[in-house]
Amino acid sequence: MDEAPTSPAEQPQERRLPRSYFKPKPVKVGDELEVEISEISRRGDGLARVQGYVIFVPNTKQGDKVKVKISQIRPSFAMAEIVKPQ
């Protein structure tokens, strides 16, 4: 007996990851950097960029210059904590 072809809903879907997932990141967990907050995110966190890579810094506002420590790395952004405000 021949089996009937399976419907597309029954076939496993191929998961596609964004290219940024595999690119090397310009920062590492534990790095300490001096950054300037260039804008505010939708959540209200400060947003800085290092070589185009986004770093979110809570409790900051636009124009702040702060020394931060990277706490988390994600494929398209990083989270940082303030070490020393300037």
- For the chain, the structural domain boundaries read 27-85
Task: Decide: 58 and 45 in contact? Cβ < 8 Å.
Answer: yes
For residue range 17-55, list pLDDT tens digits in order: 777 677 789 999 999 999 999 999 999 999 999 999 999
Q: Name, in order, each residue with C-beta under 8 angstroms of 13's C-beta and a sequence gap of 6 or more.
A: none
Per-residue pLDDT at 17: 77
Q: Global pTM?
A: 0.75
CB 48 within 8 Å of CB 57: yes
Fold category of 27-85 in CATH:
OB fold (Dihydrolipoamide Acetyltransferase, E2P) (2.40.50)
Distance CA 57, CA 50 (A): 13
DSSP state of 76: S
